[in-house]
Chain A
Amino acid sequence: MAVDYVHQFALLVLLNLNRKVTKIQKILVVDPEKCTGCRLCELVCSAFHEKAFSPIKSRIHIIKWDEKAVDVPMVCQHCSKPVCVDICPTNALYKDAKNGIVVVDETRCIGCKVCVLSCPFGAISWDTEHGKILKCDLCDGEPQCVKICKFDALKYVKADKVTLLRKREGAKKLSELVSLIVGEGFYARG
């Protein structure tokens, strides 16, 4: 019996080693309500990728409406059906089958910039200095912007957790609304 177990265990290990590593897809979630507009994320992004501070070369940008105090982080969503991938004439942009990240192969990019024009989020920009496109690569699985954002405006979570997260936040707002209408004591009164 014991030998059987050992045998089976060894088999399992072997199987796992041979299997192609498929990470569960994680995505970068943005919450504009929590964003304070500090732009630390822009700085750290450029410091990490460009070894310099250069908001314009950052892969994430904070778009602001100062008078309304609205700050929206704009960054590549690594779409399921990416327009940029579809439109790229040289297939320089492609979706990595392993982890679902939209990646650029710089050797194939001819600099036509159609991706820059086509992205609905404006998440791809053009680096005039080096003549290349700039887009988020999720920093090899450890997005620097998420790490530096101390206000949870940026989160890096498993794709299936996102809807749950959103539901929870929606529910929280709803419960606040309920207590606003019927008063704090509503649940206590049962």
Chain B
Amino acid sequence: MEFKGGYAGKILWINLSEKRIKKEPLPKDLAYNYLGGLGFVSRILFDLIKPKIDPLSPENVLAFATGPLTGTLFPQASRYIVAAKSPLTDIWGSAHSAGFWGPELKFAGYDMIIIRGRAEKPVYIWINDDYVEILDASHLWGLNVLETEDIIRRDHGDNKIRVACIGPAGEKLVRFAAVMNDKCRAAARSGMGTVMGSKNLKAIAVRGSKDIKIADPNRYLKIIKEFQQRMLNNPFTPSRIKYGTNNLIELMQEIGRLPTYNMKQGVFEEYHKISGEYIRTHYLIKPRACFACVQRCGRHTAVPEGPYAYVGGGPEFEGLSALGSRCGVSHTEAVLYANHLCNLYGMDVISCGATISWAMECYEKGIITERDTGGLALKWGDPELLVKLVKMIAFREGFGNLLAEGSWRAARKIGHGAEKYVMHVKKQEIAGQEPRAQKSMGLASATAARGADHLYAFPVLDEVGFNEEIKRRFGEQYLPEMADRLNPKYKGIMVAECENFAAVVESVGVCKYGTMIPPEFYYEDIALALEITVGFKFTSTELRKIGERIVNLNRAFNAREGVTRKDDTLPERFLKEPAPKGPAKGQIVELNQMLDEYYIHREWDLKNGLPTKKKLEELNLSDVVGQLERIGILLQ
């Protein structure tokens, strides 16, 4: 089917080893069957990345993709995705971010960039509409994220250039390095910055002056203004504007889901020191929006003086919980500063904080001693230590060199039972959701394609009981159980369906705020937006099928790497130890029950947790069946 708007219409292929640049028109059937963003990279990387390759070798392929709605007026349509095989999890890796970089790439005329090989020396890619060049980056190597962006803009004499880059952490191959764009926005998870570093690619700088066309300009503005108004009228919007995501600290404390002391518990006595209200009243300069956003959850904050002084973007809930409560640190300024440093050096705050908190628990238990740490006492809540460790990790100094491997690899090196305290799934650290307090989040972490992840499904409908939305999206028969965050019933269905929808959201290029939470827009709204922007006419069912296709394809990617049901699990802590305190006291995660329901709903094989042949064929993925069978993975 033809597209009449929305897409930029071109794919940019770059081979860094051969210094080759190629532009190709966007295949129509790729657009129609995979939409964009996550869909594009899932299909292309499944085909390009050979199984079992070393993620840090030149054979790995790194792809950046936008969606057909990225850069348009749809509320919060500012996202791009970056994907590759993950050096943290050794399976499917992807991370997404908003800001202004993705839209700029489209205005330059490209929906996607696919990067192969490895440059001999540090380079950066300069894209100015049709003009694309691989430039020397030796003067940028070693610089932090802010400096990198400033110097690129200065060198090209254009303040409107948008930059996605890595900081020192990516250069030093810290396994959870982020791709940073627009200075403080992070495509953080699963080590995509590490892959960039391994390719000697410091940055991609973009400036665009082209149009994105509108399929139906006559109906467009009227419909889209209604969407904007709906977003604005949503009861959640005022608090997003006021607190960003920071007031989730208070909310999570209230439901006992705030990760504390390496997730030993879900409540933190001193939570108010890192709370949304505290940060707003003491450190907020201004809320700032991403491209085309009316929710403006972005924060610009400052600590005006003292050892932790800075001015910059952030923080966000995940940073506050990972570096704050998770490590027992209640010194607000130290937490803010540590978060700022993660941005400067280009690191995932979640994995960084989680790895530090794992080390703290091992220290408490006597598994890690001062002999391992070079004399550092890893005490809970020490603000100076926190800041010091963040720096040591980013530059791989001393004990930081071990932590830079991520908690799973570090634990294997330490031994003596340290593995037991790694809060991970498939080697990636679990994000800021204590799963015993919200069962759906536990399941979501267990099944997510990129290892432990709250965003792949982002099942938030049971967080504060969105009963009406559950009725609308699933049907009344699932109430009240589905809305109850402590009840495992129907969570398998919810997580599977949320994954399908989230895949569509990540593919069209819009934000999960507004689609997942608050659950304002659903399939029919996306379908309408695609109709007036692109000219594609999809029903909700067809869109859902695309989402399902993408999830199955990600699963197939992981199956090639050896993932089966046994890997869809959680740390023992959540399966066996009842939550010790707070509102979720006494709870464990009933994972097996939820998993069964999940696989059944997915129509996957209950035993090995893999898609069946029939399912893949039904989703027009017959070629995938063949590919898996060729390497000896037999499907039911």
Kindly identify which residue among A46, A69, A144, A147 contacts B286, using a CB–CB cutoff of 8 Å: A69
Q: Is the CB of B210 within 8 A of A38?
A: no
> Which residue on chain B has the smallest CB distance to residue A144?
B221
> Which B residues are CB-close (under 8 A) to A122?
none
> Which A residues are CB-close (under 8 A) to B288?
36-37, 69, 71
A59 proximal to B (CB < 8 A): no
B73 proximal to A (CB < 8 A): yes
**Chain B stretch 208-222: residues in CB contact (< 8 A) with chain A:** 209-214, 217, 220-221
Interface centre among A38, A47, A128 (most CB of B within 10 A): A38
**Chain A stretch 87-130: residues in CB contact (< 8 A) with chain B:** 128
Q: Is the CB of A67 within 8 A of B73?
A: no
Kindly identify which residue among A43, A51, A57, A147 contacts B73, using a CB–CB cutoff of 8 Å: A43
Q: Mark A36-54, 1 if CB is under 8 A from B, else 0.
A: 1111100110111011111
B232 proximal to A (CB < 8 A): yes
Q: Cα distance A46–B220 when bound, in Å?
A: 12
Q: Is the CB of B214 within 8 A of A55?
A: no
> Which B residues are CB-close (under 8 A) to A67?
146, 183, 311-312
Q: Is the CB of B292 within 8 A of A39?
A: yes
Q: Is the CB of B293 within 8 A of A38?
A: yes
Q: Is the CB of A47 within 8 A of B289?
A: no
> Which B residues are CB-close (under 8 A) to A56?
107, 209
> Which residue on chain A has the smallest CB distance to residue B183?
A66
A150 proximal to B (CB < 8 A): yes
Q: Is the CB of A150 within 8 A of B294?
A: yes
> Which A residues are CB-close (under 8 A) to B251?
none
Q: Is the CB of A52 within 8 A of B291?
A: no
User: Contacts A51-B214, A150-B228 given: A44-B73 contact, CB under 8 Å?
Assistant: yes
Q: Is the CB of A38 within 8 A of B228?
A: no
B348 proximal to A (CB < 8 A): no
Interface size, chain A (Cβ < 8 Å): 31
Q: Is the CB of A38 within 8 A of B211?
A: no
Q: Is the CB of B107 within 8 A of A47?
A: no
Q: Mark A138-155, 1 if CB is under 8 A from B, else 0.
A: 000000100110110000
User: Contacts A47-B73, A69-B286 given: A148-B214 contact, CB under 8 Å?
Assistant: no
> Which B residues are CB-close (under 8 A) to A63?
159
Q: Is the CB of A54 within 8 A of B291?
A: no
B71 proximal to A (CB < 8 A): yes
Q: Is the CB of A148 within 8 A of B228?
A: yes
> Which residue on chain A has the smallest CB distance to residue B150?
A67
**Chain B stretch 113-171: residues in CB contact (< 8 A) with chain A:** 146, 159
Q: Is the CB of A52 within 8 A of B212?
A: yes
Q: Is the CB of B211 within 8 A of A57?
A: yes
Kindly identify which residue among A38, A50, A68 contacts B291, using a CB–CB cutoff of 8 Å: A38
Q: Cα distance A23–B232 when bound, in Å?
A: 32
> Which B residues are CB-close (under 8 A) to A151?
296
**Chain B stretch 283-330: residues in CB contact (< 8 A) with chain A:** 285-294, 296, 300, 311-312
Q: Is the CB of B221 within 8 A of A53?
A: no
Kindly identify which residue among A36, A50, A57 contacts B289, using a CB–CB cutoff of 8 Å: A36
> Which B residues are CB-close (under 8 A) to A148?
73, 225, 228
- Least distance between A73 CB and chain B CB atoms (Å): 13
Q: Mark B188-219, 1 if CB is under 8 A from A, else 0.
A: 00000000000000000000011111100100
> Which residue on chain B has the smallest CB distance to residue A48?
B221
Q: Is the CB of B221 within 8 A of A40?
A: no
> Which B residues are CB-close (under 8 A) to A47?
73, 214, 217, 220-221
Q: Cα distance A43–B290 when bound, in Å?
A: 13
Q: Cα distance A54–B170 when bound, in Å?
A: 33
Q: Is the CB of B296 within 8 A of A38?
A: yes
> Which A residues are CB-close (under 8 A) to B220?
47
> Which A residues are CB-close (under 8 A) to B291?
38-39
**Chain B stretch 552-605: residues in CB contact (< 8 A) with chain A:** none
B72 proximal to A (CB < 8 A): yes
Q: Is the CB of A147 within 8 A of B225?
A: yes
Q: Cα distance A170–B296 when bound, in Å?
A: 25
> Which residue on chain B has the smallest CB distance to residue A63?
B159
Interface centre among A39, A46, A57, A128 (most CB of B within 10 A): A39
Kindly identify which residue among A38, A44, A69 contacts B221, using a CB–CB cutoff of 8 Å: A44
B182 proximal to A (CB < 8 A): yes
Q: Cα distance A36–B146 when bound, in Å?
A: 20
> Which B residues are CB-close (under 8 A) to A48?
221
Q: Cα distance A37–B162 when bound, in Å?
A: 14
> Which B residues are CB-close (under 8 A) to A39?
100, 291-292
Q: Cα distance A36–B294 when bound, in Å?
A: 9
> Which B residues are CB-close (under 8 A) to A57?
211
Interface centre among A53, A63, A147, A150 (most CB of B within 10 A): A53
> Which A residues are CB-close (under 8 A) to B221?
44, 47-48, 144
Q: Cα distance A47–B71 when bound, in Å?
A: 12
- Least distance between B581 CB and chain A CB atoms (Å): 38
21 A–B contacts, CB within 8 A, in A order = A36-B296, A38-B289, A38-B290, A38-B294, A40-B73, A47-B214, A47-B220, A48-B221, A51-B214, A52-B211, A52-B213, A52-B217, A53-B73, A55-B107, A64-B159, A67-B146, A67-B311, A68-B311, A144-B221, A148-B73, A150-B228
Other A-B pairs, 7, CB within 8 Å; known A38-B294, A54-B209 = A36-B289, A47-B73, A50-B211, A52-B211, A54-B210, A57-B211, A67-B146
Closest 3 CB pairs of A and B: A38-B289, A69-B300, A52-B211
